[in-house]
Amino acid sequence: MYFDDLVLVRISCERYQIQQQEYATSGSCPLALWSVDSEFIPEEYWQLTPGTPVFFVCELDGRDYVVGGGFYSRWVALSIEDTWLRFGVRTGSTTIEGLRAEVEERGGASMLNVAIISSSFMFTKAQCKLLNPEMYAPYKEQRLALLHTSDPFCLYLKKVVQGMRKQELDALGQDWPGLYYSASHGKSSEDQGVFFAKVMSAYNFGCAITGTRAYVALDVAHIQPLFNKRFQSVRNGLVLRADVHRLFSQGLISAFYRNEREVEIVVSDTVHAIGAEDYLQYHGKLMQLPLNEKLWPHPGHLDWHYHHCFEHWLYSDDGHHI
């Protein structure tokens, strides 16, 4: 198996809509392509080289398009429950009941074979790349299609689709981070510098969750994305250790006001599914707040994070927690 090979995966319109919406909001993140044991998968797919491009194909308005993709990482065996906890709507289902129903439709299983697709990217409908019907015809009836570099169609697709992705990478300098992140980092560097200094000072240069005071390991996090300068307030910021900041931004950690004077930290049970159980030590503990009560986190911002960001990958498309 060569790195320059390419895998085409046919997905449903429903899955495309779910993944595109999640991508727009949360940015590039690992996706789960899964199968049950009763489904035959040729040996060459089990031997894919990490980094192999994977493009998603979907039929839209009667024609086939490349609608997104990513890069193969590895196969793992997971229970249905762990698959859902780890990937949620990134499995292509909006609820765990929907995932279970699809598993039954495809033969039933208690364990799933999950291919993890990293550095995912999705195109809007206007951006999707129309496939040449004649070139795609040999693969049209296949749910999975492996194209080799000796196939001109493979070379053409990689050049066009990766060129489209490169435009985004060149513009952003990174994979798409999602609307919430972009909103929080879309202000001028001057505004960010002032915000950083004020929040660091308010929290006395210490992580609000772990208490860490190693300055080089500390970040300033926005609680709620800022869409105007009203959100560029110390009460919308926290000092967090870099790894905790990442988990907070990804929705694995949040906090809420237990009462008027205490903020309780909450850690998602889904950390078990990603091997991050160490962070459970902070669950139920109190956040370390600034001495100046006027600089404490605004309840509205924490409420937004808890209800809209915490465990967001387990949300249905109507915004309700599963």
pLDDT in tens, 274-317: 889 999 999 999 999 999 999 999 999 999 999 999 998 887 54
Mean pLDDT of 203-220: 96
Per-residue pLDDT, 170: 80
Per-residue pLDDT, 93: 95
So where are the chain's domains?
6-177, 185-314
Average pLDDT, the chain: 90
Rounded-to-integer distance, Cα 77 and Cα 300, Å: 40
Buried b / exposed e along 74-96 (16+ C-beta atoms within 10 A): ebeebebebbbbbbbbbbbbbbb
Per-residue pLDDT, 172: 74
Is 226 a residue whose pLDDT tops 60?
A: yes
Q: Any idea which of 54-58, 87-91, 232-236 has the lowest mean pLDDT? A: 232-236
Higher-pLDDT residue of 190 and 99 is 99
User: Would you place residue 174 in the very low, low, confident or very high pLDDT band (cuts 50, 70, 90)?
Assistant: confident
Amino acid letter at 100? R
User: 6-177 — its CATH code?
Assistant: 2.30.130.30
Residue percentage of the chain with pLDDT more than 70: 92
Q: Which residues pair with 226 in a beta bridge?
A: none
Per-residue pLDDT, 1: 45
The model carries a pTM of: 0.83
Rounded-to-integer distance, Cα 28 and Cα 23, Å: 6
Per-residue pLDDT, 183: 63
Rounded-to-integer distance, Cα 61 and Cα 81, Å: 34
Higher-pLDDT residue of 146 and 187 is 146
Is 36 a residue whose pLDDT tops 60?
A: yes
Per-residue pLDDT, 26: 85
Q: Considering only CA atoms, which of 191, 246, 178 is closest in space to residue 217?
A: 246
pLDDT in tens, 108-125: 999 999 999 999 999 999
